[in-house]
């Protein structure tokens, strides 16, 4: 029996919250009256009531008072009405026309005698004021007082309503007919897509899984470093699932009021149950899912109460069929074990840093809407960016576009990608910092020591570029391109420490003194040596034992029990082994650079001359330093 077809994508939204608001019959299709319509009605009533007081309604020919008297003497005026309020004189002419004029407050005896003599009917008229106008000075203060109290009451009700709704979920609902991201917009990660599509297919075609007795995971946890696209996958699921999708972040559950987090979790799941089939996405779940019993605070801690409610809703006494929980975090080690057990987050999907093929696909996605030059090779750029996340690659393409705009170019060219990669990896160039001749030579010797060791050490990563131009916080940078590998040998780490010691040793060989420029190199070398001894078992004296660093309280470990797991003698042995590794690699760097002293000076001179040189150039200079002088060859 074939499975039923999936539901149509463009179906109307079934948001239960919206459905409850329009529950009255006939409510649909009748939008509420806009607020501006009420004010328009009030303005129209005011114009009709008071407009006649401010707009003149007099019509007829405009005459001056002198012309009016002249018309009276000529017998052209038939009747006159004198307005006592506005001192306006209006009337009819003998030919049937009308006129208006403005006179004095009261007609003089001579003018009044002239009107009587010429047989003109005249009369004084005082118009009655509008009753609304008369009541306005009395009513207006009361209207202002009443309006103020109504505004205060509504403000108080709004605050009370916000307090009452503080326990409601802040999740954002995404309907199936809303345009969103799909799996086609996510480059690479075919394995991750396959695992996530099983959950999407279950929600769209549950009968296919129920027929064989399969049970879909209730919770899916996306785990990966920052910037690898965990939230992007969630948006793609929202566009592919065809069911209700509720998105919320872990911090949305936390509030200053006690019990609000648990209340919001309950409201979130109630909203999802009303949708029938739904996906709840909780971003940064480590905000509320950290281990309980951290040693600070008791069982009434607000975060623990929120986590307890989440655990109960996911797999408690009341089941939630048809609801899948999707969460994302980059700190799975701090999550509570009860949250990760089967029945809750059954499946953990790792979203790692992209490999070469995935980086190439990501670069193509971010470059498809940009004007690329003919010399841009995304394949080479993908090989030159190991360890970069999807967000880093997107930033790389954008930086290349910005460099192209600064150059005034119409297309993004290869030089723009090179400059963008230098900026992202080594930092922005500091144009305002100018080194004097002595500092410039010291920096060239320092970076030359790193470059020579990166060239001659057998297990070192290939040297890409070395520069003495100040970038970021460094006066110079030596950049190697790490090869894509997943396991590292002890010889690789020893060469890495030796290379880090190269700058300090080169200055000591040439100048016979030390300065503070090797601080970051020593920090990196010490960190690697400590992990070799304490975590990776790469010390013969310590043996196959590993001790991680001291656990922090926020990781969920008890404050009283977290401490050092080894004795003082073991601690002394660990310190001695770390110091031994550092001193051995420093001595090794001294021997190699002494042997390649000529090559070191050639690289330093080239750096002073050109400020930036690439790896192949350094290799040629180091090789030239090993060749015998012409006089020695003749002898």
Taking the whole predicted model, whether its pTM rises above 0.75 is answered as: no
Residue of higher predicted confidence among 430 and 404: 404
47 Cβ contact partners less than 8 Å away, ≥ 6 residues apart: none
| 3-class DSSP assignment, residue 102 | strand
Distance of alpha carbon 115 from alpha carbon 118, whole angstroms: 5
| Residue 7 scores a pLDDT above 70 | no
Segment 44-91, tens digit of pLDDT: 666 655 555 544 455 567 877 777 788 888 787 878 887 776 777 778
Residue of higher predicted confidence among 39 and 179: 39
Is 294 in contact with 557 (CB distance < 8 Å)? Answer: yes
Distance of alpha carbon 516 from alpha carbon 436, whole angstroms: 17
Q: What does the pLDDT read at residue 595?
A: 92
Active site residue 447: yes
Partnered with residue 347 across adjacent β-strands are 220
User: Could you give the residue ranges of the DSSP H alpha helices within 55-189?
Assistant: 65-73, 109-117, 131-164
Among residues 215, 267, 273, the alpha carbon closest in space to that of 244 is found at 273
Among residues 463, 462, 464, 453, the alpha carbon closest in space to that of 485 is found at 462
Among residues 259, 262, 231, the alpha carbon closest in space to that of 247 is found at 231
Supply the mean pLDDT for the chain: 76
- How distant is the alpha carbon of residue 245 from its chain centre? 20
User: If you ran DSSP here, which 8-state letter would residue 319 be given?
Assistant: -
Segment 302-327, tens digit of pLDDT: 677 778 777 877 776 556 567 788 88
Is 268 in contact with 186 (CB distance < 8 Å)? Answer: no
Segment 91-128, tens digit of pLDDT: 887 777 788 877 766 677 777 778 777 877 777 777 66
Which of 31-40, 138-147, 185-194, 476-485 is least confident? 31-40
User: Of the residues 240, 358, 413, 447, which is catalytic?
Assistant: 447
Distance of alpha carbon 425 from alpha carbon 384, whole angstroms: 11
| 3-class DSSP assignment, residue 248 | strand
- Greatest mean pLDDT among 20-34, 336-350, 507-521: 507-521
Distance of alpha carbon 298 from alpha carbon 292, whole angstroms: 9
| Residue 449 scores a pLDDT above 90 | yes
Q: 374: how many CB neighbours lie within 10 A of its CB?
A: 8
Q: What does the pLDDT read at residue 575?
A: 92
* Proportion of the chain above pLDDT 70, given as a percent: 75
Segment 560-581, tens digit of pLDDT: 444 567 888 888 999 999 999 9
- How distant is the alpha carbon of residue 454 from its chain centre? 38
| Residue 558 scores a pLDDT above 50 | no
Q: How far is CA 88 from CA 77, 105, 476, 571, in A?
A: 16, 9, 93, 110
Average pLDDT over residues 583-609: 92
Average pLDDT over residues 220-249: 79
* Proportion of the chain above pLDDT 90, given as a percent: 14
Among residues 451, 449, 370, the alpha carbon closest in space to that of 413 is found at 370
Residue of higher predicted confidence among 445 and 258: 445
Distance between start and end Cα atoms, the chain: 93
Residue of higher predicted confidence among 171 and 552: 171
């Amino acid at each position: 029996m074939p499975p039923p077809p999936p539901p149509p994508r463009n179906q109307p939204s079934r948001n239960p919250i919206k459905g409850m608001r329009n529950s009255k019959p006939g409510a649909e299709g009748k939008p509420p009256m806009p607020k501006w319509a009420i004010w328009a009605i009030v303005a129209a009533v005011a114009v009709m009531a008071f407009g006649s007081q401010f707009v003149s309604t007099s019509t007829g020919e405009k005459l001056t008072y002198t012309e009016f008297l002249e018309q009276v003497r000529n017998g052209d005026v038939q009747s006159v009405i004198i307005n006592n309020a506005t001192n306006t004189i209006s009337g009819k002419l003998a030919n049937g026309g009308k006129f208006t004029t403005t006179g004095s407050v009261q007609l003089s005896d001579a003018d009044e005698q002239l009107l009587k003599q010429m047989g003109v009917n005249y009369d004084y008229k005082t118009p009655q004021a509008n009753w609304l106008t008369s009541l306005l000075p009395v009513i207006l203060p009361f209207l202002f007082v009443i309006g103020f109290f109504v505004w205060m009451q509504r403000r108080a009700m709004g605050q009370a309503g916000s307090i009452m709704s503080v326990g409601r979920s802040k999740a954002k609902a995404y309907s199936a007919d809303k345009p969103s991201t799909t799996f086609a917009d996510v480059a690479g990660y075919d394995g991750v897509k396959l695992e996530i599509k099983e959950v999407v297919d279950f929600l769209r075609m549950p009968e296919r899984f129920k027929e064989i007795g399969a049970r879909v995971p209730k919770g899916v946890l996306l785990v990966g470093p920052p910037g690898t696209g965990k939230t992007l996958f969630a948006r793609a699921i929202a566009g592919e699932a065809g069911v209700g999708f509720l998105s919320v972040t872990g911090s949305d559950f936390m509030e200053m009021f006690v019990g609000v987090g648990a209340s919001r979790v309950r409201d979130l799941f109630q909203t999802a149950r009303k949708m029938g089939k739904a996906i709840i996405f909780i971003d940064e779940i480590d905000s509320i899912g950290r281990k309980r019993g951290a040693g600070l605070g008791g069982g009434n801690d607000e975060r623990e109460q929120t986590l307890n409610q989440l655990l109960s809703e996911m797999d408690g006494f009341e089941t939630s069929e048809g609801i899948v929980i999707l969460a994302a975090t980059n700190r799975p080690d701090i999550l509570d074990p009860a949250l990760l057990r089967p029945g809750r987050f059954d499946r953990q999907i790792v979203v790692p840093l992209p490999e070469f093929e995935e980086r190439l696909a990501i670069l193509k996605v971010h470059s498809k809407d940009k004007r690329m030059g003919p010399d841009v090779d995304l394949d080479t750029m993908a090989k030159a960016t190991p360890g970069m996340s999807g967000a880093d690659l997107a930033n790389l393409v954008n930086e290349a576009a910005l460099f192209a705009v600064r150059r005034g170019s119409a297309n993004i060219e290869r030089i723009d990608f090179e400059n963008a990669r230098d900026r992202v990896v080594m930092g922005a160039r500091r144009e305002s910092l100018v080194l004097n001749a002595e500092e410039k030579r010291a920096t060239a010797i320092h970076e030359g020591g790193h470059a020579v060791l990166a060239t001659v050490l057998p297990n070192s990563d290939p040297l890409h570029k070395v520069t003495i131009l100040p970038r970021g916080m460094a006066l110079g940078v030596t950049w190697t391109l790490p090869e894509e590998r997943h396991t590292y040998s002890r010889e690789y780490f020893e060469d890495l420490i030796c290379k880090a010691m190269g700058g300090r040793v080169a200055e000591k060989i040439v100048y016979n003194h030390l300065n503070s420029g090797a601080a970051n190199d020593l920090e990196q070398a010490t960190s690697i040596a400590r992990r070799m001894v304490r975590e990776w078992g790469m010390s013969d004296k310590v043996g196959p034992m590993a001790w991680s660093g001291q656990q922090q309280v926020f990781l969920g470990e008890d404050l009283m029990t977290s401490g050092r797991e080894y004795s003082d003698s073991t601690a002394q042995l660990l310190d001695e082994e770390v110091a031994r590794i550092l001193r051995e690699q420093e001595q090794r760097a001294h021997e190699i650079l002494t042997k390649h002293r000529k090559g070191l000076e050639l690289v330093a001179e080239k750096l002073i001359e050109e400020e930036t040189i690439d790896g192949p150039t350094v290799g040629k200079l180091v090789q030239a330093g090993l060749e015998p002088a012409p006089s020695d060859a003749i002898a």
